[in-house]
Amino acid sequence: MGNPKLLLKMKNILLKNGHVVDPLNNVDFVSDLLIIDGRIKSLSKNVKPEYENLEVVDVSGKFVVPGLIDCHVHLREPGYEEKETIETGSRSAAMGGFTTVVCEPNTNPPIDSVAAVEDHVRRVGEKGLINIYTKVCITKGSKGEVITDMEKFGCYRSVVAFSDDGNPVLRKEVMVRALHTAAMSNKPVSPHCEDSGFYSVKDVTEEELGFSPSKKFWNEANFVKRDINCAGSIGCHVHFSHLSLKESIDYISEKREQGNITCEATPHHLLLDGDYRDINGEIPVVNPPLRSQVDVQSIQKGLSDGIIDVIASDHAPHSLPDKKSGAPGIIGLETTLGLVLTELVRPGIITLRDAVLKMSTNPAKIFKISGGSLLPGMPADVTVIDMEREWVVDINSFESKSRNCPFQGWKLKGQAVMTIVSGNIVMREGKIVF
């Protein structure tokens, strides 16, 4: 949701000679981009700097794209501020080129009520540096039993989807009721189909699940199939978070014509398999876990074939003691773009246009967020990328409070050098300037 502080400080900016890439409007050429009063004014060559209080920025040789959107992040506030806060998380996002993020609701207390949503809106207004939306729990406390008052959230612009985050909705009949209710609110359900450590498939019967369970951490595709089949007759949009198995991708590919299915993958599931060791010789602990090389290749192919709609970080900050005790999750806001450009765009797995589509245009469309385009009249959320910028991942330089990153020491090529939110330059050349 737009930040009131940013809207009060909108500036006039002219970005000169940048290579503009906007998949929604089929733009891929060198142009000037004029921002007036926090909105895109024009996109054309040789724009004259005739406006008052206009900052002219030469971005020759750089790429100008719609502001990046990460639709799967954990900002931990309220309740876990020792791991991350809205302020540090939004600074981290801006450093990574993200103008907009969507928070998961697994805070403490969880975001499962109108009061919690309004508290989140207040906190974002006080502390956020970027546009911040949220998902609301599918069930009370994400416990899988009683669905939340979904119909009440239809009028909240800050609420863009429903999710129980790391907990799959175990009981089929609960998911069916949730899909019916979410369809009336015109907001997608975003299930997490991994097996959570909080739940075990032995807690419910096969009939209640709606499928015959496999061993723990191997039920992702079972949940995907069940939820797709349930949504088909209801018409609710289902967006699957961080898919990790070939079987999941294959089934979604078969059912795409159903029309109400989208999905995402993370950089770590796109790039790392279960044999990977980080700089300390440790296997990254994530949920869903890192899979086989066959699964990694399938996810990459799903990305290039257009089966996977979105790349999302699943930015999951943890304290060092929590990671040592086995907490799953890694941070990703400051590395996602660099990893995508270096490991997916440069090798030709996807194009830069594809990357922008999956990191801006598509998430804006799926979650009905204002953004994802540089069309005149749109809010001036813009990311400027230097494709030639070489850098080394250094967790000690991150704006995030946490350091749980498996890419420490990786050499990357390509980085955001400017993040503009509502016409405000929030990050410039690796420094927060707002």
Tell which residue, 168, 225, 154, has the closest CA to residue 199.
168
* Residue at 269: amino acid letter: H
> Is 314 annotated as catalytic?
yes
Tokens of 30: 């060198």
What Å distances lie between residue 72 and 65, 235, 238, 313, 424, CA to CA? 20, 23, 15, 6, 24
What are the structure tokens assigned to 215, written together? 């061993």
Give me the catalytic one of 70, 314, 354, 386: 314
Rounded CA separation 198/179 (Å): 23
- Enzyme catalytic residues: 314
